Amino acid sequence: MRVEVDSDRCVGHGLCEATAPDVFEVGDGGYVIIDDEAASSCAESDLRTAVNNCPSAALRAIE
């Protein structure tokens, strides 16, 4: 599973980064950058938590 971000929706408050800091990092642009390699080795439950808890619905899980 991997995760995509809609940078137009992301407001950069970093809830996802708090859930899986190896995968998500709020960049200088004010939206999150996703490390695909880290995502591939991350617990799927953590990725789903990040997707489901994003208040802006900016994250999407790709099966």
- How far apart are alpha carbons 19 and 37 in whole angstroms? 17
Of 16, 20, 42, 47, which lies in the binding site for ligand SF4, with binding defined by CB under 6 A? Answer: 16
CB of 35 to ligand SF4, least distance (A): 13
CB of 5 to ligand SF4, least distance (A): 5
Verify binding: residue 14, ligand SF4, rule CB under 6 A. yes
Verify binding: residue 3, ligand SF4, rule CB under 6 A. no
**Per-residue 3-state assignment (H helix, E strand, C coil) for 9-22:** CCCCCCHHHHHCCC
- How far apart are alpha carbons 29 and 8 in whole angstroms? 11
